[in-house]
């Protein structure tokens, strides 16, 4: 009996400690969800979602390609950010160059319609928006801008913007001082992985060029004024193919994810 009474308080002591520790444990951080317009094949280490997961393991994602456009827009509206990825040329009829279709690559008219609708939704809701390669180009078109149909024939340049060995197509870019890109990366120039035959010709309304290649072609854009428009950033290069610590891969991703976290808190107030 004496032994029993001596051990009971000890048991209660440890129960109290465990309960206290459980109460003090911080709540798990809610996952942020990124809508991705189109993803590469599953298992590819260069997947766009893997690029985001490098910098925040607390990210979920939803692939929108293949859904009816109206359904995709509804799904995207529930997410915390929108990522527009690389791919086919945008149909040139959207920017007044329908007669030049023969000089383009292949088209995906469904994807064009899908991404224009997603961009419209994101801008209206001030949802964080990031574009890569084609993503930058279609954002520019959505804002009333145009593209060079084919850089090698339409724009005199010594910069190699596209080559057959696309995994090793690299060139330098220069960051425009005073831009958000300059603030977050803290670099004035760096080398990027980039492979494309089209690029921004006439800049879309409300956009600001934040980086250029040596031949002056725009390589990144952002809002000219961000006070009431939400977050928008788009790059012509492929950050998902670059090293993890590259400032032009890491810092744009971190900024986009931070903005998505802020947006999540707006959608899900405590």
264 an active-site residue? no
Nearest by Cα to 136 from 232, 64, 236 = 236
238 an active-site residue? yes
Catalytic residue (choose from 115, 133, 136, 161): 133
Length of the chain, please?
A: 270
Q: Which residues contact 97 (CB under 8 A, 6 or more apart)?
A: 146, 147, 149
Catalytic residue (choose from 49, 161, 238, 264): 238
**How do strand 170-175 and strand 32-36 relate by DSSP bridges?**
unpaired
169 an active-site residue? no
Please answer whether residues 159 and 218 qualify as being in contact, where contact means their C-beta atoms are separated by less than 8 angstroms.
Answer: no
Helices (H), 25-108: 48-53, 69-77
Catalytic residue (choose from 201, 240, 259, 261): 240
Distance between CA atoms of 101 and 212, rounded to whole angstroms? Answer: 26
Please answer whether residues 206 and 221 qualify as being in contact, where contact means their C-beta atoms are separated by less than 8 angstroms.
Answer: no
Neighbours of 267 (CB within 10 A): 13
Question: 């900024």: which residue's tokens?
Answer: 255
Active site residues: 133, 238, 240
């Amino acid at each position: 009996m004496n032994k029993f009474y001596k051990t009971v308080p000890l048991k209660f002591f440890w129960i109290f400690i465990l309960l206290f520790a459980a109460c003090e444990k911080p709540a798990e951080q809610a996952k942020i969800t990124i809508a991705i317009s189109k993803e590469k094949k599953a298992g590819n280490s260069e997947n766009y979602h893997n690029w985001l997961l490098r910098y925040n393991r607390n990210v979920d994602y939803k692939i929108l390609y293949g859904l009816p456009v109206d359904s995709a827009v509804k799904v995207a509206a529930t997410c915390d950010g929108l990522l527009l990825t690389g791919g086919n040329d945008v149909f040139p009829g959207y920017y007044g160059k329908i007669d030049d279709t023969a000089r383009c690559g292949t088209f995906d008219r469904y994807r064009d319609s899908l991404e224009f609708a997603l961009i419209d939704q994101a801008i209206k809701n001030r949802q964080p928006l990031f574009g890569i390669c084609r993503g930058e180009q279609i954002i520019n078109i959505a804002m009333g801008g145009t593209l060079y149909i084919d850089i090698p024939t339409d724009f005199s340049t010594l910069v190699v913007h596209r080559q057959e060995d696309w995994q090793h197509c690299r060139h330098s870019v220069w960051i425009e001082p005073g831009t958000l890109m300059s603030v977050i990366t803290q670099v004035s120039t760096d080398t990027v992985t980039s492979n494309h035959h089209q690029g921004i010709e006439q800049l879309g309304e409300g956009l600001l060029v934040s980086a250029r290649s040596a031949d002056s072609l725009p390589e990144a854009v952002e809002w000219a004024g961000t006070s009431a428009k939400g977050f928008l950033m788009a790059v012509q290069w492929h950050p998902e193919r670059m090293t993890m610590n590259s400032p032009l891969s890491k810092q744009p991703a971190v900024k986009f994810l931070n903005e998505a976290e802020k947006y999540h808190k707006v959608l899900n107030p405590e």
